[in-house]
């Protein structure tokens, strides 16, 4: 298996603590490509994928299309981070 180098390191401040998030080149490049196609930001695309992934893991019996529709409706609400 090839080594994947980290392209993005994101620092997240919460109160007095800082977390980092490391993403592979592949994930960032794919997210940038899809974000451009969908007309959204890189952050929004990665969050979208994370929402779908979380719901799919928590609800393995629900078909992908239903999960995708649910995520779209949730993300369309103004108060959802």
The pLDDT mean for the chain works out to: 81
- How far from each other are the two terminal CA atoms of the chain, in whole angstroms? 35
Q: Residue 17, SS3?
A: strand
Does residue 67 contact residue 59 with C-beta atoms inside 8 Å? yes
Closest CA to 10 of 37, 35, 28: 28
Sign of the four-CA dihedral 64, 66, 68, 74: negative
Q: Tens of pLDDT along 23-79?
A: 888 898 999 999 999 999 998 899 899 989 998 999 999 999 999 888 888 887 776
> Beta-carbon neighbour count of residue 45 at 10 Å?
20
pTM, rounded to two decimals? 0.69
């Amino acid at each position: 298996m090839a080594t994947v180098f980290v392209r993005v390191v994101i620092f997240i401040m919460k109160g007095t603590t800082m977390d980092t998030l490391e993403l592979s080149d592949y994930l960032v490049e794919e997210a940038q490509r899809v974000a451009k196609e969908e007309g959204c930001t890189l952050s929004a695309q990665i969050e979208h994928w994370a929402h779908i992934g979380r719901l799919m893991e928590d609800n393995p019996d629900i078909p992908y299309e239903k999960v995708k529709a649910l995520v779209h409706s949730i993300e369309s609400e103004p108060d959802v981070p």
